[in-house]
Amino acid sequence: MVKKHLSHAYMIIGPESNRRKKTVSSLSAALLCSEDTAPCGICRDCRKVSAGIHPDMIYIERQPKEKGVLHQNILVEQIRDVARDTAVAPNEARRKVYILPEADRMNQEAQNSLLKILEEPPSHVAFLLCTAAGDSLLPTVRSRCVRMDDSDRSDALFPLSDLAAGYLKAAVGDLADITMFCMLRTKLTREDTEAFLTEVSAALCDILCARRDNPGLSPQHLLALTALIDRAQDYTRRNVSPKQVFGMLAAETPR
Domain ranges of the chain: 3-149, 160-252
pTM score: 0.65
Kindly report the CA angle at 236 between 38 and 47, in degrees rounded to 5? 25
pLDDT at residue 155 tops 70: no
pLDDT digits (tens, 9 = 90+) for 63-88: 988 777 889 999 999 999 999 999 99
Task: Tell whether the model's pLDDT for residue 2 goes beyond 60.
Answer: no
* DSSP three-state, residue 255: coil
Task: Please give the Cα distance from 121 to 7 (Å, whole number).
Answer: 11
Residues 6+ apart with CB under 8 A from 135: none
Please state the rounded mean pLDDT for residues 186-208: 87
Find residue 58's DSSP bridge partners: 98
pLDDT of residue 153: 47
Distance CA 219, CA 173 (A): 16
List the one residue out of 159, 157, 175, 177 whose CA is nearest residue 167.
Answer: 177
Nearest-angstrom CA–CA distance, 144 and 151? 21
Query: If you average pLDDT over residues 129-148, what whole number do you get?
Result: 89
Q: Give 99's pLDDT tier (boundaries 50, 70, 90).
A: very high
Comparing 116 with 181, which gets the higher pLDDT? 116
Task: Assign 107 to helix, strand or coil.
Answer: coil
CATH code at 3-149: 3.40.50.300
